[in-house]
Structure 1
Amino acid sequence: MNYTAEAPAVWDPALADADDCLLSTDQCVVHGQHYFVKGLIEIPVIGSDEVFSWGVWVSLSRENFSRASGLWDKPGREAEKPYFGWLTTELPMYPATTLNLKTHVHTRPVGERPFVELEPTEHPLAVEQRTGISPERLREIASAVLHAGEGEGGRG
């Protein structure tokens, strides 16, 4: 019930060997100037107790990234105030780009990915997060993700 992007949209595999770049399963740094964390946009499935999750990357300020990193393995980190960020994952099944949507990243207990709350706009992704999706829409997303090809990301 989820799809995850392997890296932020700005990541290039050629950066992997650069001293000022890092890509892990949870964090990314590009040229020591751009900072990203991976989180989940959760969308309720109407008529069920299920939730569909988009595993996405969000850019944070240097200060917020530093703070989040410092608390990464500390119990109680979920008491942190949300961090402002910009969505840096393109989800092609939406008619308008998902890049640069405004978000708030909510830290959760150690071992859990942050919750990404989209600004309540009229963007279809933000509307789906607020109102939920039908089982039919979930099947449509699953089909689009499966046909996007392995190079676009994967489930996980």
Structure 2
Amino acid sequence: MSSVLEFTCSMCGATHGGPPLAYAAEAPAHWRPEMEADPDSELASDACVIHGQAFFLRGVIEIPVIGVDDVFAWGVWVSLSPENFARIGELWETPGRESEPPYFGWLSTELPIYSRSTINLKTNLHTRPLGQRPFIELEPTDHPLAMEQRAGISLARVRQIAEVLLHSDGSAG
């Protein structure tokens, strides 16, 4: 598939072997490096707690790529209620966890390629089988990210995202 996605970058002129089909945020937008010293705060690969009061889980927003048999993925963080965070923690290593109903949450990752903020978009977090990060379903709204999740994106859009994220400060154009 990478040959299908090979493109000449409009920003640097180089031919790239295919734009990445996944990008990930290292931490929720509310996390600050100085929080590492706080005993009530922790940032792990899949979960984050801030001051023992805010709870986040890492998941994936998948967007179909029109014309190819793959998806574009945003690795993002979603805030959860303390009860839902505890429930997911109880089931994290339990086979069959994917049969749980979805958990409501707020998107807690700013995706800077969108002109409208992605912070606090309503989501449903769906657990998946062991070894797979949860699937994040956005509430169907008129936000461009939610519309892309429902309708899919073109290869040209994948290339545009790659160019913006690889060759700029990441802000929307």
TM interval, shorter chain, is over 0.9
The answer to which structure, 1 or 2, has the higher relative contact order (CA under 8 A, 6+ apart) is 1
Q: 1:103 aligns with which of 107, 123, 128?
A: 123
- 1:76 to 2:92 alignment: no
- 1:117 to 2:137 alignment: yes
1:148, distance to aligned residue in structure 2 (A): 4.5
1:9 aligned partner: 29
1:90, distance to aligned residue in structure 2 (A): 0.2
2:3 aligned partner: none
Q: What one-letter code is carried by the residue in structure 2 that aligns with 1:85?
A: G
1:147, distance to aligned residue in structure 2 (A): 2.3
- 1:91 to 2:111 alignment: yes
Give TM-score scaled by structure 1 length. Answer: 0.94
- 1:55 to 2:75 alignment: yes
Q: What one-letter code is carried by the residue in structure 2 that aligns with 1:131?
A: A
Identity within the alignment, % = 61
Task: Figure out how many residues of one structure are paired with residues of the other and give that number.
Answer: 150
* Contact map agreement 1:38 1:57 (CA 8 A) in 2: yes
Rounded Cα–Cα distance in structure 2 between residues aligned with 1:148 and 1:140: 12
1:12-36 per-position Cα deviation (integer Å, ceiling 9, x unaligned): 0000121100100100000000000
Q: 1:65 aligns with which of 45, 62, 85?
A: 85
Cα RMSD for the two superposed structures: 1.0
Rounded Cα–Cα distance in structure 2 between residues aligned with 1:23 and 1:84: 21
Q: Aligned to 2:87, what secondary structure does the other structure show?
A: helix
Q: Which runs of 5+ in 1 are unaligned?
A: none
* Contact map agreement 1:41 1:54 (CA 8 A) in 2: yes
Q: Aligned to 1:84, what secondary structure does the other structure show?
A: strand
- 1:142 to 2:156 alignment: no
Rounded Cα–Cα distance in structure 1 between residues aligned with 2:89 and 2:37: 21
Q: Aligned to 1:105, what secondary structure does the other structure show?
A: strand
Structure (1 or 2) with the larger CA radius of gyration = 2
Rounded Cα–Cα distance in structure 2 between residues aligned with 1:102 and 1:86: 5
Q: Alpha carbons of 1:148 and 1:24: their partners in 2 closer, same or farther (altered >3 Å)?
A: farther
- 1:24 to 2:24 alignment: no
- 1:37 to 2:57 alignment: yes
